[in-house]
Amino acid sequence: MDAETVKRAIVKFEESIPKETFEREMRIPEMPFDKAVAIVGPRRAGKTYYLYNTYKKQAGRKPIFINFEDNLIKGIGDKELNIIPQASTELFEAKDFSFFLDEIQIVEGWESFAISLLNSHHKVYATGSNSRTLSKDIATALRGKALPFLLLPLSFTEFLKMKSFELDKRMQYSGRLPSLKRLFQEYLIHGGFPEIALAKELELKNRLANNYFDTIIYKDTIERNKITNAKLATNTAKYLLNLYANTFSIAAYENYLKSNKTPYSLEDIYTILGTLKDIYFISYVKQYSKSYKKSEFSKAKIYLFDTAYITFLASETTDMGRILENLVFIELFRRQNTLENTGIYYHQTKNGKECDFIIKNNSKITHAIQVCYRLTQKNREREIHALSETMKELGIKQGIILTHDQEEKTQKTGISIKPVWKWLLET
């Protein structure tokens, strides 16, 4: 890789930055000069466009944007990365730069380069689709010189904004409420990936979701981990995809593979499971217990980071209760990610009743949440009792049942019932 090629890449990226970009809700505070910003999250969640917005807001510094997946720059080695600041200095009459490194995890050994930029008093913004590369291990990789910020697909309020739907405090009394509910139904079923949200044709939404899935399997899982058993990787992802909002066990999955005569090794299975979690395709929710060990070894419930995968790829897409529960998980994950020392769990009472979500803040359980698509005479008592028992056992004063479109008061003290769309709009 030579300096002239890098210069062409820098100019190409500068000329291709869109003039109009969608403003996201996530805010990054003013960072010290010795700290890099790492924007992590699922593929196609909008990380690159978030960089574009931040790029435009640089004051007193020349922004330099590099997309490491672009063909011009693809294949650059870690020893050649220092050509980037050299080429930038030659191109522009500037000393202070903000470097935007999109999908930097592709380059092995990129960490030393990022540290050298920070040591030269440049600002560094990096994105990646792999949480292990750019989140959990980043503090170690960059010797404490970076802070990760998670960008998930659109929240419901962002989705409404993208659809040019204006909110106000009187919305529940407005004649526009039916339109809001129609948009919520679209958000519930088609998810929050920006590109899918903007697509008008259902067929295009379908193609995009399938394309994202294929990239996750072949590029992020098989190629990155050099897995030779491609069928196992695909089967594992599809198995988990269809298991959303249900518990997962290795033993049950092994039986599934044996019944389908799929060759496998446990090492490959664990590698694939770890990767699918790291790239924000799935997440695990453990059962709550005061014993850390018991909680860690409990059966985990599987959730996906966008409901589009369920609608367009799952074999069972008619269970709206599970889809609603998955959507609630995504929002809980989004909210707890902005707070320190919080965790999401499910709870099983002493009588075997299950509460879908409890939120732990530091050492205290603060919220209990039950999700039920529609409360009926048949399930009402069961859902309310599961929540009230959980509240009693864990010492929680307030609990909530989230529904598709029901809101009411209950005779049970501390329990409220409200629709998910309204809960999503609460800050």
Specify the pLDDT at position 339. Answer: 59
Q: Is 271 domain-assigned?
A: no
For residues 196 and 208, the answer to whether their CB atoms sit within 8 Å is yes
| CATH code of residue 342 | 3.40.1350
Q: Is 389 domain-assigned?
A: yes
Specify the pLDDT at position 318. Answer: 77
Q: Is 186 domain-assigned?
A: no
Residue 359's beta-bridge partner residues? 344, 367
Specify the pLDDT at position 225. Answer: 86
Q: Let me know the angle formed at the C-alpha of 195 by 313 and 30, rounded to the nearest 5 degrees.
A: 120
Specify the pLDDT at position 108. Answer: 84
Strands 300-304 and 354-361, sheet pairing: unpaired
Question: In the block, which residue shows the tokens 């599987």?
Answer: 302
Beta strands in 59-204 (DSSP E): 62-67, 97-102, 123-128, 146-150
Residue 156, both tokens = 């419901």
* Conformational region of residue 164, where left means phi above 0, alpha means psi within -120 to 50, and beta covers everything else: left
What confidence tier does 31 reach under pLDDT thresholds 50, 70, 90?
A: confident
What confidence tier does 338 reach under pLDDT thresholds 50, 70, 90?
A: low
Q: Is 23 domain-assigned?
A: yes
The closest alpha carbon to 417, from 382, 381, 384, 378, belongs to 384
Q: Is 82 domain-assigned?
A: yes
Number of domains in the chain: 2
pLDDT tens readout for residues 307-332: 999 999 998 777 999 999 999 999 99
Angle between helices 266-278 and 250-259 in degrees, nearest 10: 120
pLDDT at 111 over 90: no
Q: How far apart are the first and last CA of the chain?
A: 48
pLDDT at 29 over 80: yes
pLDDT tens readout for residues 227-277: 999 999 999 999 999 999 999 999 999 999 999 999 999 999 999 999 999
Domain housing 386: 318-427
| Helix runs in 199-353, H state only | 202-215, 224-225, 230-242, 250-259, 266-278, 292-296, 308-313, 320-336
Q: Is 403 domain-assigned?
A: yes
User: Residue 301, SS3?
Assistant: strand
Give the residue from 121, 150, 179 where a domain finishes.
150
Give 6-9's long-range contacts (Cβ < 8 A, gap of 24+): 6/73, 6/76, 6/83, 6/84, 6/87, 7/87, 7/90, 7/91, 8/72, 9/66, 9/70, 9/72, 9/73
| CATH code of residue 125 | 3.40.50
Specify the pLDDT at position 133. Answer: 54
CA–CA dist 403, 298 (Å, integer): 27
pLDDT tens readout for residues 64-110: 999 998 899 988 998 999 999 999 999 998 889 999 998 887 888 88
Which amino acid belongs to residue 321? G
For residues 276 and 248, the answer to whether their CB atoms sit within 8 Å is no
Residues 6+ apart with CB under 8 A from 259: none
The closest alpha carbon to 161, from 185, 180, 177, 189, belongs to 180
Give the residue from 101, 123, 150 where a domain finishes.
150
Specify the pLDDT at position 140. Answer: 56
Give the residue from 150, 181, 216 where a domain finishes.
150
pLDDT at 376 over 80: yes
Q: Is 76 domain-assigned?
A: yes
Q: Is 291 domain-assigned?
A: no
**DSSP conformation letters of 347-358:** EE-TTS-EEEEE
